[in-house]
Structures are given as structure tokens and as C-alpha cells.
Amino acid sequence: MDKLVIEGGAKLKGEVTVSGAKNAVLPILAATLLTDEPCVIKGVPNLRDTNSMLKILRSLGKVAEFDKGKVGVCAGKASSYIASYKLVSTMRASFCVLGPLLGKLKKAKVSLPGGCVIGVRPVDLHLKGIKALGADVSIESGYVVAKANKLHGAYIYLGGVYGSSVLATDNVMMAAVLAHGKTVIESAACEPEVVDLAEFLIKMGAKIKGHGTPVIEIEGVKNLHGAVHSIISDRIEAGTLILASLITAGDVLIKNAQYKHLGALLDKLDEAGAHISRLDGALHVKGNKKLRAINITTLPYPGFPTDMQAQMMSLMSVTGGISVITEKIYPDRFMHVSELNRMGAQIQREGPHAIVEGVKNLSGAPVMASDLRASAGLVLAGLSARGETSISRIYHLERGYEFIEEKLINLGAKVWREKE
């Protein structure tokens, strides 16, 4: 097992290109189960999670080839309706095969999901949605078993305790496209990744409108056909690179970045005094050491993304003043706090709030990644810190950031791998 070592203090400078969105490509790959015809997906990032999803498709009988950012899913029916614990337990997003398997085969047996340890993330909204479409659902030996002689359209309210659910919206939408009649999903997730999935389904012949708003309407069709689709850029990677530029007082042009997908983050950084130019398909970040402390609250899109919370905490750790970071999506998503404090940060947790008192400098230290975005936050802290930081369990980082070491090195960072 490798660890990532960072010698802090280098200012990032140059150009970098954002990869395709992890959170868009996974449900889109799952959606290829809805057709017997070939599909081609372009701009696919080479990630652990991507390869895990391809393994799941192959286990279900699909032939899927991945080459140079392009996935081809060959024609043919899925020969299995069972997504095993061994595969699904490694990645929560793989649970989104439930909807397309049920929609196409009218039966599905999918292991309850795994993934990052960031707090309780129940699947109750997923089950509520597919039950409303007419499926009989049970939990058997750690698997969700869903069956239906025929799926029918329904009015479905998908609001949860912490707002809308991206994966539940994805699952219900994919099940509904082949259901008989009209489905209305209210309190649907509005994230760009949900919109990207809907656009792919429309290319396949689905009838969907309202995607990107809290109310999605779906008119079921009999069959879907193959399609070619290019994945949107990863807004979370783009946001992480923005903060990497700021925390090192660098000067970076971030290509393939859509500022329209980053509204809440950019608004907060404007408030903090950051210099970020919005360009056509790019962002130019000029870092400075005189940022102001800000308060943030994570919310469903278009609010501040929970997937940027850890990275923002790292930036605020070295920004003068006191910041309050409130986590309203996953209230237990604070495992990075203790690791940042090991590096000299001054952070106190009070329930769903983290109170961050900015310090002048962090100090390099051995730290441990607990989840995907926490690992990104620790990388940012290491880039800023004095001395050497070693981050263990970087397999978390590999789940969501394509070629992140190479990208940082090309910007001037001193980053390398060592064996644990």
C-alpha cells in the first residue's frame, strides 16, 4: 500500500485540465443496462470507482471496454440481475444499478452499498421510489430484492431529512423511463450530474423534462436504444484545484471547468477576497495571502457542496480569523478535523459545526485519509504546510481524482509516493 508524501511550500503555477465527472459517469454507465444496443461514453476518468462500475457491468453480463477515456458497452442483454456484495460494498454509487436492472429486467438483487465512512447514508428514499413504481421490495441477507410484473408511473416525493438525494433521484429516474405511464419526481436532486444522466437517457430515447429543477417529469417508453455521450467536467475536482491554487498563493489556469456548476463555491471565495476570473470553459485563479475568514453551510445543489467541505476547511485553517463550517448533508463528516489538528490547525467540533480559528502556518505531519474528500483536504493542507506531510490510505484519493499527482507535479508541487 502506498502513501503520498508532500513537501509543502511550493506555489502552484501553470495550466491544468479537469477530468470528467466521477459522480456523473457512474450512473451513466449503470444506465447502459437499460438497452440491448451498444453505447459509447466519452471523457471517462480513469478512477478506482470507474473500474469498479465496469466490473459490476461485466458481472451482470455486459461487455464493457475502457480505452483512453472512452468506454464502449457492447450490444447484448444483461444476463444477471444480481449485483454482489463483493463489488457493491466497495463503492456506494454502484447501488444505482438497482433502478436500471428493475426497469429492464423487472427484477433486481443488489447488495446494500459501501463506500466512504462519512456517516449514516440510508437507502430509504431509493426504496420508497421504486415501491411507488409498483415494485415489491424486501431486504434479504444484506441485499435489496426488488420485483415487479409491471412498473407504472407514479407521483413520488423524494425529499429526505437532509434534502434531496442524488443517487435516489438517479435510481428512480432510471427505473421510471421504462415504466408504463407518467412519473413525477418532486424534491428531485438538481445537481449537474443528475442533469447529465437525464441528457444521456434522452439520447437513448427516454422522455424526460424538468431535469435540473426540483420536479422531474418522465413519460415511460417501451424501449431505449444505444447512444454516444460525453461526460461533463468534474466540478468537485475543479473546486479542489481552485482551493489548491489559493492555499499555495499560486497562479493557475484551470481548463475544462464550468463556473456555472460552481456558483456557491465561487460566491464564498469572492466573499473571502479571492481573485478568480470566469472564462469560457476555464477559470483563472490568482492566489493571495490576504483572504478573509468566511462561514459556510453545506446544502443540496445549488447550495455549497458537502464534497467541498473538507477542502474549504483546510483553506480556512490558514486564513486569519474565525470561520464556522456547518455540515447539513452528512453531520458526521468531520473525520478530517483531528488530522488537520495534528498539522497545527485550530479546529473545534460542536455537533454539525466546526469552528476554525485560522493559524499562520500548518506543519507537515503523518496523517491518515478517512474518505475521498477528506484525503483531498489533507493534500491541500500538505501543499500549504511547512515541512513534509505523509498521507496514508490514499486509495481513497484514487477513487475520485484522476492523475492528481501528475497534475500537481506539473503545477510545481513536490509530491511523490512511498510504500507504507
pLDDT tens-digit series, residues 22-31: 999 999 999 9
Tell me: do 252 and 378 sit in the same domain: yes
Q: What is the mean pLDDT of residues 341-355?
A: 97
Looking at 221, 248, 277, the residue that finishes a domain is: 221
pTM higher than the cut 0.85: yes
Domain end call among 195, 221, 247: 221
Q: Is residue 175 located within the same domain as residue 310?
A: no
Note whether residue 141 is domain-resident: yes
Q: What is the mean pLDDT of residues 217-235?
A: 98
Could you say which of 161, 188, 221 is where a domain stops?
221
Sign of CA dihedral 48, 50, 51, 53: positive
Q: Is 114 inside a domain boundary?
A: yes
Assess whether 116 carries a catalytic annotation. Answer: yes
Choosing from 39, 96, 116, 190, which is the catalytic residue?
A: 116
Q: Are residues 288 and 142 in the same domain?
A: no
Task: Verify that 298 and 380 share a domain, yes or no.
Answer: yes
Instruction: With beta carbons less than 8 A apart as the criterion, state whether 100 and 175 touch.
Output: yes
Q: What is the 3-state secondary structure (H, E, C) of 161-208?
A: CCECCHHHHHHHHHHHCCCECEEEEECCCCCHHHHHHHHHHHHCCCEE
- 258 domain residue, yes or no: yes
> What is the CATH classification number for the domain harbouring 246?
3.65.10.10
67-110 residue pLDDT tens: 999 999 987 777 789 998 888 887 878 899 999 999 999 999 99
Residue 107 sits in the same domain as residue 146 = yes
Is residue 243 over pLDDT 70? yes
Looking at the structure of the chain, the number of domains it has is 2
In this structure, are 14 and 31 located in the same domain? Answer: no
3-state secondary structure of 223: coil
pLDDT at residue 121, rounded to an integer = 53
Residue 227 lies in a domain: no
Residues 76 and 10 in one domain: no
| pLDDT tens digits, 201-225 | 999 999 999 999 999 999 999 999 9
Same domain, 147 and 159: yes
Asked if residue 228 is part of any domain, the answer here is: no
- What average pLDDT does range 230-235 have in this prediction? 98
pLDDT of residue 1: 82
150 and 67 in one domain?
A: yes
% of residues, the chain, pLDDT over 90 = 87
Residue 119 in this model has a pLDDT that exceeds 70? no
Query: What local confidence, expressed as pLDDT, does residue 290 receive?
Result: 87
Q: Is residue 295 part of a domain?
A: yes
Q: Report the alpha-carbon distance of residue 113 to residue 88 in Å, rounded.
A: 6
CA distances from 359 to 246, 363, 382, 414 (A): 15, 11, 14, 23
Regarding whether 353 and 248 lie in a shared domain, the answer is yes
Q: Which of 2-6, 45-49, 116-120, 219-223 has the lowest mean pLDDT?
A: 116-120
Residues 216 and 237 in one domain: no
State the residue range of the domain holding 367.
2-19+233-419
Co-location of 244 and 322 in the same domain: yes
Q: What is the tens place of the pLDDT at every residue in 352-401?
A: 999 999 999 999 999 999 999 999 999 999 999 999 999 999 999 999 99
